[in-house]
Amino acid sequence: MCPAQATKRQSAPLRQSAPPVEGNIAAKALYEEVAGRLRQSIFSQDLAPGARIDEQALAQVYGISRTPLREALKLLASEGLVVLKPRHGCYVVQVSQRDVEEVFAVLALLEGQCAYEAVEKAQPEDFQRLEIFHRKLELCTRKKDRTEWFEINQEFHRALDEMSGNHCMIQLIGNLWKVVKLVRFHSLVQGRQLEQCLEEHARIMAAIRLRDPAAVKQAMTAHLLNCGSATSEGYLPRHPTEDA
């Protein structure tokens, strides 16, 4: 029996014994639904970095037992979003400046190579999609809409990665971006990074229009290294707090 089936069977009596109330979760894969809600709370910092997760309180809020909640926390731990401490409980991960620098260094390598392969393999309609994303980023920059900018930027990177067809790198990049989401938006909100980011995206697009894989790789690598520096500078502690 797979974990999702086991969780479903364990949680079924809860759904049968009481009618759903507002905020309750009644999904086929219950722990995945719970993980999705917790993930968004972590990204929005409703659950703050370093905060202890109160399992009992969350189970009551969601109207579920603690079993699927614990399965959800294990999933988030595998994604690097929470830390499970034996005999101490579960805590939202607190990302350090060093963590950010290391993550972006790896992202720069992976996304640079993905961009190289994408330009080699992409079809005309793929390039058109990237142009649309870029125009949206230009509009968000003019409007100073940092929230929308962050979401469209992620779509741009995701689309370019998928164009490469390299599923192994795409999966690794996706996991790293989950860590980036813990801090990147707040860096954009606090700093004045939109114009600089757009200039770097313009260099990436210029290389894409030339269908020059090497130039795209170089521009993407430089962009992500700059993102790492901008994200870590003046925002994060050098080391996370060990004791919550």
Give the ranges where 79-193 is alpha helix by DSSP (H).
97-121, 124-143, 146-164, 167-180, 184-190
| pLDDT at 234 (0 to 100) | 52
For the cut 80, the answer to whether the pLDDT of residue 2 exceeds it is no
Q: What are phi and psi of 235, to 5 degrees?
A: -120, -45
What 8-state DSSP symbol labels residue 51? Answer: P
Max mean pLDDT range (43-57, 113-127, 222-236): 113-127
Q: Which domains occur in the chain, in start order?
A: 3-92 (1.10.10.10), 97-232 (1.20.120.530)
pLDDT (tens digit, 9 = 90+) per residue, 86-137? Answer: 888 999 988 888 888 899 999 999 999 999 999 999 999 999 999 999 999 9
- Looking at residue 87, its pLDDT comes to 84
Beta bridge partners, 177, equal none
Q: Which two tokens stand for residue 33?
A: 């639904």
Q: What is the C-alpha separation between 99 and 61, in angstroms, rounded? A: 32
* Whether the Cβ atoms of residue 122 and residue 209 lie closer than 8 Å to each other: no
- What pLDDT is recorded for position 80? 83
pLDDT tens for each residue of 152-198: 998 999 999 999 999 999 999 998 888 877 776 555 544 457 888 89
Q: What is the pTM of this model?
A: 0.69
Q: Report strand pairing: 82-85 vs 52-53.
A: unpaired
Question: What pLDDT score does 232 carry?
Answer: 73
Distance CA 233, CA 35 (A): 30
Kindly tell me if the per-residue pLDDT of 48 is higher than 90.
Answer: no
Examine the pLDDT at 1 and tell me if it is beyond 80: no
Say what angle helices 30-43 and 55-62 make with each other, to 10 degrees: 110
Asked whether the CA dihedral 155, 160, 166, 170 is positive or negative, the reply is negative
